[in-house]
Structure 1
């Protein structure tokens, strides 16, 4: 019998993708380009997806959706995605066409993804909550303003998903939420503790806010024990150093993990194969550029942990030349 429920966070390079598996089905959160998601679904023999949740309309979150919708071997029951009037890209139009076609051919149900959908994603003992955006924020949408007349863009209305098990918030997947979107969350929810945080926007710029202050405020809001950056070693040089500094100053005991090994941490890749990686597909496996790679987390309420944390720490210490996740620890913890 499978050891469920579980959360799988995929190494897809620059992008986001997560799977939640429980006894009654599978939920996919974001569908980036590349073959990692399709390979993972095949590896796990997944032929049916109950819900696909798309955080927002950027290509690194929707780029793999068209191929998934056209795959006749996989049945997709529901897709939850918000409108974005400012998105003029060809891929966004192609996705809308593919969604309309899937609705006609397979009866795929389309709906928005707002806080009002919380409670509709029960696939067993795991419940998903939509922490953002609110319905009234989506009524303005990207290109408009929020209720305090702050400018909204695609990242401002990114969905933020909480994963709850046994009345305990296990994880928050923050999409690409920026400073304006975060301010709206804080105004609606004053505190949102969770053990695991997939940090917003791959650790890149959080809009117009100071990156260090944004990271401090976000981590104070979540108080995570494990922080994950979904990054590509060869793109954008994420996570930003100021973001990491803000995290460590706010939650110095949190474990930081990047899916791939940032060039900031190691100009050259390790020669030895890491021993802490799962057997699941990961974008960085062939090039040996994984840091945390694709990670699997057994969901177990307040007892949820990342089982390979000690092995990942050992990898960072022994094989990574200058890990930015440890750069500021001596400032915060001078005795260690």
Structure 2
């Protein structure tokens, strides 16, 4: 029997993946390529997934679900994903074929709508799952179409933004790859977006055509997070973007910033000693010693949810092992880190 619900944010390199567990089931949010998710499910003895929520059709969010659907040791009851008519990748086609196979072979139910109307339908025990974006009106147009202000929608614009709520308190928001247009629509739809934890969108990369600093300021002013997580791969791109960090720091200067892997902006060389601050859960960067925060496990307890020990150990690692941590940029010189 579980002591308390759990939110796991996985180190998968460049990609996104989270697992939510409670007494009535397991929900997986996004499935990137790699073994981290499968190994995490094995580590937690999970053989049944009630819902898989796929935020959008980019490969770093969907490529791993194919092997998961083919895994005969794991029962998947439902998969929820929005259509994307402009996505022409082989992986997107392979996913659709795998979903058809799972539906016929094992009875997996496939829903082609993951919008705000689904809030309340994914509750597991005491944990409630919100779909904060997109609205059904956006999905009626879809990627390649326009929103109600006639602005072009990309796959990122219609990313599903998921909230994790316990005891009427929003513990976390997982913002997928939402861009400037998506954020504007989200802010007009939701009356309150405050959350303790924010998994920052698009791995801290540029938010489409909008200004990165302004985007980060607007998002952080809306969510007011205490912990901001960037799910990044050390060897992909140069994330998080410096302007994003500047915007975060100007809006929520006291928030703790944690990257799953060490950005090359923070240190050109990897630590020589193995980290002692990581938990036992699988993390893609562990083998190469490229983890920063690695995989994060958070015991959910409403407004009393705490992660101070994880933050303290991560701060100590930064102090001792990281030469020029980007998360320390733009801090006031008289402000403790």
TM-score by length of 2: 0.98
CA contact (8 A) 1:24 1:124 kept: yes
Q: Distance in 2 between matches of 1:90 and 1:268?
A: 35
- 2:96 maps to which residue? 96
Q: What residue number does 2:303 align with?
A: 302
Correspondence for 1:285: 286
- Aligned twin of 1:170: 171
Gaps of 5+ in 2: none
Alignment of 1:148-297 (within 5 A): 148-297=149-298
* Displaced runs of 4 or more, over 6 A: none
The match for 1:47 is: 47
Deviation at 1:190, TM superposition (A): 4.0
- 43-52 or 271-280: bigger deviation: 271-280
Give how far 1:191 is off.
3.1
8 A Cα contact 1:169 1:301, kept in partner: yes
Deviation per residue, 1:264-294 (Å, 9 max, x gap): 0000111122222110100000111000000
Question: 3-state DSSP class of the match of 1:308?
Answer: helix
- TM-align CA RMSD: 0.9
Taking the TM superposition and a 5 Å limit, the aligned residue runs for 1:96-175 are 96-111=96-111, 112-175=113-176
Give the direction of change, closer, same or farther, for the CA distance of 1:279–1:335 in structure 2 (3 Å limit). Answer: closer
* CA distance, structure 2, for counterparts of residue 272 and residue 292 of structure 1: 15
2:79 counterpart residue number = 79
How many residue pairs were aligned? 334
Deviation of 1:123 (Å):
1.0
Which deviates the most, 122-131 or 299-308? 299-308
Alignment partners' CA distance in 1, 2:117 and 2:101: 26
Aligned mate of 1:321, from 306, 320, 323:
323
Residue range with higher mean Cα deviation, 298-307 or 248-257: 298-307
Q: Is the 8 A contact 1:162 1:171 kept in 2?
A: yes
Distance in 2 separating the partners of 1:168 and 1:62: 29
